Homo-oligomer: A and B are copies of this chain.
C-alpha cells in the first residue's frame, strides 16, 4: 500500500510528500462529467456505486496518493431533517432555514448508521475497490460552517444572517453548534468504522468570523468534533480557510494531526505559527496557479514543497481545484510532487534555511 499520507500525518520521514487535491473528484474531469450527465449531484452522493466510481477516478487518472470519498458537507443538516436542494447553477440551498429556538429543537439527532448509511456504504464499497492502493479519506463540515449554511439558507458572501444570530442570540447559536458538534463527531467515528483511514473537517466559512467570534463560536465545536474523531483512531486534518491567524490556536485546541493551509498564507508563515505543536501541514498551491504553463506549475510546486520542508507535509492545493481546470495541468501538479525527492543534500539545505539550495 502507498502509505505516504499516513506516514506524513505521523510526521515520519518520507522520500517525498504525499499529494491529493481538494475536489479532486469533480467537474474538471471529463470522466466525472460523464457520470454527472446521467445523474444529479445528490443522487450521486446517495448511490454508493456512483460515489465509488467518481471517488476512484482521480486515483486512476491523475495519480493522487489518496482518495477522498465523494459526498457533500451538507448531508449532515439534511440527516437532521432539513430539506436540501442542489439546483444547477444556484448552489445548495435550505429553503426553510433555521431561525428560531423551535427550529433548532426540531432538528433530529443524527444516527449515522441510519440517516447516513448511504455514505458509509460508499466508504465500504470504495475501500473494497481501492484494495489498499492508497488511503481513503472521509470528511465532514465543521459545526460553524454547517450552522452558517443552515441559518443563512445558502452560501453568501458575508453570512450576515448567520452572524446576526451570533450577535443577537448567542445562546441560540450555541445550542445549534453543540447539536452539530455531536452529530459531526458521531458521523466521523462512523466513517472511520466504515473504512475511512483519515478524516478531514472542513470549516469552510471560518473566514466569515473575526478572531473573537471564531474563538467563541467555531473553535470549541471544531475541537469537540475533531477530538471525538481522533478517539476513533484515525488521523484528523482540520482545514479552516480564511483564518490564517488561527493556525496555532487550531493546532493547540483541536489536537489535529494536520492543519490545512489556504493559499493566502505562505508555507514559511504557517510553519512559524505552528512550530510549537507537533502538527503536519497540508497545502497550499493557489488553485489558480494551475492556469499557468506546466513548466511554471512545476516550478511553483517545487518551491512550495521546499518551503514546507521534509517532514509533516501533505501536498495539496490551498482550496478546491477549479471546475474549468485542464486535467493535464492538474497532472502537472501531481507529477511535480511525485518526481520530488528529499535527498540528504536537500534536507541539509532546508535545515540550513537555504530554500534556493533545496530546489536546486
**Chain A residues at the B interface, C-beta cutoff of 8 Å:** 157-158, 160, 163-164, 166-168, 207, 210-211, 213, 242-245, 263-266, 269, 286-289, 291-292, 296, 318-319, 322, 324
By beta carbon, the residue of chain B nearest A324 is B160
**A168 x B292 contact (CB < 8 A):** yes
Query: With A167-B291, A292-B167, A292-B168 in contact, is A322–B160 under 8 Å at CB?
Result: yes
Copies of this protein chain in the complex: 2
Of B166, B242, B264, which contacts A245 at CB under 8 A?
B264
CA distance A167 to B243 in the complex (A): 25
CB contacts (< 8 Å) of A157 on chain B: these are 157
Q: Could you list 25 A-B pairs, sorted by A, with CB under 8 Å?
A: A157-B157, A158-B288, A158-B322, A160-B287, A160-B288, A163-B286, A163-B288, A163-B291, A164-B288, A164-B291, A166-B288, A167-B289, A167-B292, A167-B296, A168-B291, A207-B264, A210-B286, A211-B264, A211-B266, A213-B286, A242-B264, A244-B244, A244-B245, A245-B264, A245-B266
**A265 x B291 contact (CB < 8 A):** no
CA distance A157 to B286 in the complex (A): 14
CA distance A265 to B158 in the complex (A): 16
CA distance A324 to B243 in the complex (A): 26
By beta carbon, the residue of chain B nearest A300 is B212
CA distance A194 to B353 in the complex (A): 53
Query: What is the minimal beta-carbon distance from A274 to any residue of chain B, in angstroms?
Result: 15
Query: What is the minimal beta-carbon distance from A346 to any residue of chain B, in angstroms?
Result: 22
Query: What is the minimal beta-carbon distance from A143 to any residue of chain B, in angstroms?
Result: 19
Query: What is the minimal beta-carbon distance from A208 to any residue of chain B, in angstroms?
Result: 9
Query: With A163-B291, A286-B210, A288-B167 in contact, is A245–B263 under 8 Å at CB?
Result: no
CA distance A181 to B291 in the complex (A): 25
CB contacts (< 8 Å) of A166 on chain B: these are 288
**A264 x B210 contact (CB < 8 A):** yes
CA distance A319 to B322 in the complex (A): 28
CB contacts (< 8 Å) of A318 on chain B: these are 210
CB contacts (< 8 Å) of A265 on chain B: these are 245
CA distance A265 to B207 in the complex (A): 11
CB contacts (< 8 Å) of A245 on chain B: these are 244, 264-266, 269
Query: With A157-B157, A245-B244, A269-B245 in contact, is A210–B263 under 8 Å at CB?
Result: yes
Query: What is the minimal beta-carbon distance from A214 to any residue of chain B, in angstroms?
Result: 9
CB contacts (< 8 Å) of A168 on chain B: these are 291-292
Query: What is the minimal beta-carbon distance from A252 to any residue of chain B, in angstroms?
Result: 17
CA distance A35 to B142 in the complex (A): 43
CB contacts (< 8 Å) of A266 on chain B: these are 211, 245
| A-B complex: 5 closest residue pairs judged by Cβ atoms | A163-B288, A167-B292, A167-B291, A164-B291, A210-B263
CA distance A316 to B220 in the complex (A): 29
CA distance A244 to B244 in the complex (A): 9
CA distance A322 to B164 in the complex (A): 11
* Given contact pairs A207-B264, A210-B318, a sample of 7 additional A-B residue pairs in the complex whose CB atoms are under 8 Å apart: A158-B288, A160-B322, A163-B288, A164-B288, A167-B292, A210-B286, A244-B245
Query: What is the minimal beta-carbon distance from A26 to any residue of chain B, in angstroms?
Result: 14
